[in-house]
Each structure stands twice: as structure tokens, then as C-alpha cells.
Amino acid sequence: MVRRPVLAAGCVPVIVALALAAVPARADRPGGVVPAPAAAPAAPAAPAAVTTVTAAAVKPPPGMLEAIEQDLNMSREEAETRLINENRLLAVAARLKEKLGVRFGGAWLRTKTAHTLVVASTSAADIPQIIVEGAQAEVVPRSLTQLIAIRKKLDATLPPDPLISGVRYVDVKRNKVTVLATAPQRVGVFVQKSGVDRTAVTVLPSVEVPLPLSAPSYELVGGAAYYVGPVNRCSVGFSVTKGAQAGFVSSGHCGRKGDVTTGFNRVVQGVFQASAFPGSDHAWITVNESWKTVPAVESGAGSTVAVSGARPAVEGASICQSGSTTDWQCGRVQQLNASVTYPQGVVSDLTRTSICAEPGDSGGPIISIDQAQGVTSGGSGDCASGGTTYFQPITEILTTYGLTLKTTGDDMPSGASRACTGYPRQVTGTLIKGQDDYQPAEPYRSAVAGLHVGCVDGPEDADFDLYLEKWTGLKWLAVAPGDGVTSDEMVSHQGTPGSYRYRITATTGSGPYVLGFTTP
């Protein structure tokens, strides 16, 4: 493999000045960057604006840090640092992808704590703007668009047999398309006949044999089981809407248009409105009035993770899956833009991950912190020996069916606002800096599972945080944090029956507050 020099962004003003003198790569150094010739350095560029990101800027949902520690073999400090870095660098990656356009060659994270973002371009002229954004620059011969075109041509050429060439993906680190094959020599012949640039393809021996993860066997929360027929079990993905219709997305191989679903409790639930498999692997299902959609996914031990958006993760990012078989599992994004060959045919534009999954997890949600990523399609291996999982990105599903992802804030009561008016229950109080208050005066008990929504409005110059807590039988446990940097916070939680209360904390500032909330 050709080793390509990488330009670091450790000291932005100095490196920007040097990068401006870079010259195009020579033919004898493919994919490389020729250092600037020895000459008087250019005048230093103006320092780039730097946004300081602290631990308070990233508030992972309950249970996520613990799962990342365990599944990615990290300390608590490493897991916290990783999420802080990812939150900052994924925004950088999105900006650079838009700026570079057709020259964009991909992006990936490096180091255990995702400290470094590498962004590739087909033009050395893009090096300065990549470095100014705080990323490392790498010059590559092929753009991401070109690599995807090569992968699509291979999809149409290679035999549709998972036992021969089960997986193909764009490997942006190598700037190639990789084919994982149980019969690499045979696959090599097909690659040669396909007419693609052979130097842009790597065929590797592999034991991955993709299979869909469906299995024989009144709140709608991602990761919960649902059934198609008497024994077919899959997992709920993300809650969505289409006009006045509410429902959820899941895997296409779980059912076909017109199929009726029942929920985890075997109560009639919904109907498949559309489904695609193979080619793609996605579906959307409308639900009846007995089921209420919520922007949340199960994260184990009765907890849920709120869904706030759908910002795509890049290669190397940590992500987690909720499924009705394996519950809550975490891993990393390995490659984007992958194709896999199932026994039923090829599915393209999937994301390949190190998450383990098992039959029954199909359709379950994949999430990065609080950002929806996609629904589980299939996998290879299992959670006992380790495995690989592929998911269908959420953006394609939403676009294909004209759906809107349900996110936090959608379930606020009619007339409610950030000023916390319009809630059926309201209480008031006063806090001084460093003080906690608990509301209502007597904790309330919810006899049924359902959605809890709370909102606190404090003084404009203060930072008041809001936490929904549940009694475990031994202690009060925070199940939904709202700890941003303003005096107005909102939390939502899909909860099980039990006793609840709100804790309001004056992190900075003092003064009166209003708490509005709803109960199931």
C-alpha cells in the first residue's frame, strides 16, 4: 500500500503559511503531497477562529458512556474525550465535504479518542482550507464520487452470491474499493472483466457471509420488538411522520407492502406502506391510534436515548444499536458506501460497522450520541464471537418515502413553548447559585408507561439545568438530563411505570423559575 504523507494541523497559523506553498503531487508519488520547495516562508496567515469545546458541550444519554467503555475497551475519560472530539470534528467534516464538492475524497477519524480528523481531496490546492478548518489534509487520486461509481459497477458485475463476494465497500483510507470475498481468486477474474480500473480495487479474503437479522420467533420506542405474522420478529427503527400519518422505519426484508404488524405485546400495530429489498433495505410502517410515536430509542435497563436529529457520522465515529435481541450494543463506523450480497440479492449504500448484532435486531435504530444514523440491515458473526453489522442510512429512507424524522421537541403539549407555558402541570420556585430544588413537592407516580416532558424557564442571565429522576428502589436516578448552557431547558423521556421527580440546579446565576411538565 502506498504511504501518503499527511499534513497535520497542530499549529494552524504556521502550517497554513507552509501549505500555501505546496505544489501538485508528482507522477512518481501517487496520492502524495510534495513538500514546498526551500524558499522564504510566506507571511503567516491570520489565525483561524477556534471554538473551544468542553466536556459540558456533549451530554451523552444515560448508559451510552458505560456501553462505549465496555464495547470499545476505553476508560471513562477516554470515552468522554472521544465523544467531545466527535461532536466537534463531525461538523468540520460536513463543512469540508460541502466546500470541496466533487474533489472530496472522504473523511475519517484517527486515534483512540478520535483526536484527529483526516479529510482527503483530489487537489493539493485544497490543503490550506482543510488545515484552517482544523483537519489533516491528504491528497488522493480518486474522489469519493469516483469510488462510489466503481463500487456500483462492481455491484452489477460480480456474481450475486454471498458465498463468493459478499461485501464491497469504499475504503477512503486506501482510496480504493475493497471487495471481501470467500473466493478471492475467482472474484479477481470478475473484477478484471468488469472494466473498472484494477488499481482502484482490492480483493481481500474474508469469512463474512451477510444474512438479514430478522428472526423466527403502547408506546412506540426504537429497538422494541414487532412481529410480522405469527413468528417473524424484527425491531422498530425510528419514529417518523408523513403528513398526518405516524409510523416508524425499519428494514425492508422484514415485510412487504400490505403486511400487518403486531407490537412487542402482540397487539395489532400497523401496516407496511412501502418496502424495498434487495437493492436497498428499508421500509416504513404506519401505526394505528393505539400506538404513540416518540423520538426515543431503548438503551437498556429501562432507559431511553432521545433523538434530536440525523447528522451523519463519518468513518471512525462511535455509534450504538438498539435491537430486540441484543438490546444495546456499541461500536465504530468502519466504512460508508458499502454493498453486500445477501442470498436474496445485493443491497447497496450501506454503512459497515463493528457493532455486533443477531437475528431479530433487523430494523433496529443506529444512533450516534443523539443523532439518528440508520436502521440495521444485516450482519456477519454474532455477539459471542464478535461480528460486523451493516445499516441503511436514515437519510436515504426519509428521502425515498418523503418522511419526517420525529425529534425532541415534537411532543411538547399544544401551546407549549420554550417559555414553559401551556403545560398541564406547572410549579414555581427560586434558586441561588449552586442550589438544587426538587419538584413537585411530592414525587408523582406514573402507573403506565409513557412520555414524560419537562421544561424549566429561569432568569435570562443564569444557567439552570433540569433533570428528570426516577426512583429505583434504592436511589433517585437521572433518566433524562437537560444541562445546556442557558436558563431554559427541556427534557423528554419514554418511561416505564414508577415514581418520578424533577431536579432543578442553578449552575450559575440566581432567581425565580417556572417548571412545566406532563405525565403519561
Is-above-0.75 flag for pTM? no
By DSSP bridging, strand 292-298 and strand 219-222 are parallel
Q: Which residue do the cell numbers 419514554 mark?
A: 494
Residues 324 and 307 in one domain: yes
Per-residue pLDDT 10s for the chain (520 aa) are 343 444 544 333 332 332 333 333 333 333 443 333 333 334 344 434 444 444 445 678 778 888 999 999 999 999 999 999 999 999 999 999 999 999 999 999 999 999 999 999 999 999 999 999 999 999 999 999 999 999 999 999 888 877 777 899 999 999 999 999 888 888 888 998 899 999 999 999 988 888 888 654 478 999 999 999 888 999 999 999 998 899 999 999 999 999 999 999 898 999 999 999 999 999 999 999 889 898 989 987 667 888 888 889 999 999 999 999 999 999 999 999 999 999 999 999 999 999 999 999 999 999 988 889 999 999 999 898 888 999 999 999 999 999 999 987 554 433 333 456 556 788 888 888 889 999 998 999 998 887 788 888 888 778 888 999 999 989 999 888 876 655 577 787 878 899 999 999 998 888 888 888 888 8
- Give the span between the Cα atoms of 50 and 222, in whole angstroms: 37
Side-chain half-sphere exposure of 287, counting CA atoms within 13 A: 26
Residues 461 and 312 in one domain: no
The three-state secondary structure class of 213 is coil
Residues 189 and 222 in one domain: no
Chosen domain end from 114, 139, 164 = 139
Residues 121 and 157 in one domain: no
Residues 240 and 158 in one domain: no
- Per DSSP, 199 falls in state G
Residues 385 and 463 in one domain: no
The three-state secondary structure class of 157 is helix
Residues 174 and 92 in one domain: no
- Phi and psi dihedrals of 164, rounded to 5? -110, -60
Residues 337 and 443 in one domain: no
Residues 38 and 81 in one domain: yes
Domain that holds residue 82: 12-139
* The 3-state secondary structure of 387-432, one letter per residue: EEEEEEEHHHHHHHHCCEECCCCCCCCCCCCCCCCCCCEEEEEEEC
CATH number, domain containing residue 464: 2.60.120.380
Q: How far is CA 80 from the centre of its chain?
A: 17
| Burial degree of 426 (CB within 10 A; 0-12, 13-18, 19+) | middle
Taking alpha carbons only, the member of 359, 219, 356 closest to residue 296 is 219
Strand-pairing partners, residue 461, are: none
Taking alpha carbons only, the member of 285, 281, 284, 282 closest to residue 271 is 285
Tell me: cis bond preceding 278? Omega within 30 of 0 counts: yes
Alpha carbon of 223 to those of 267, 364, 439, 475: distances in Å? 17, 5, 31, 27
- Give the span between the Cα atoms of 2 and 28, in whole angstroms: 11
Domain count, the chain: 4
* Position 455 in a domain: yes
Residues 304 and 398 in one domain: yes
- Phi and psi dihedrals of 158, rounded to 5? -70, 150
* Position 93 in a domain: yes
Residues 252 and 368 in one domain: yes
Chosen domain end from 84, 114, 139 = 139
* Position 416 in a domain: no
CATH number, domain containing residue 152: 3.30.300.50
- Give the span between the Cα atoms of 89 and 115, in whole angstroms: 9
Residues 192 and 328 in one domain: no
* Position 413 in a domain: no
- Per DSSP, 279 falls in state B
The grid cell for 64 is 451510552
* Position 64 in a domain: yes
Chosen domain end from 405, 435, 454 = 405
For 315, other C-beta atoms within 10 Å of its C-beta total 22
Q: Which residues are annotated as catalytic?
A: 253, 281, 362
231 Cβ contact partners less than 8 Å away, ≥ 6 residues apart: 216, 217
* Position 511 in a domain: yes
* Position 2 in a domain: no
* Position 420 in a domain: no
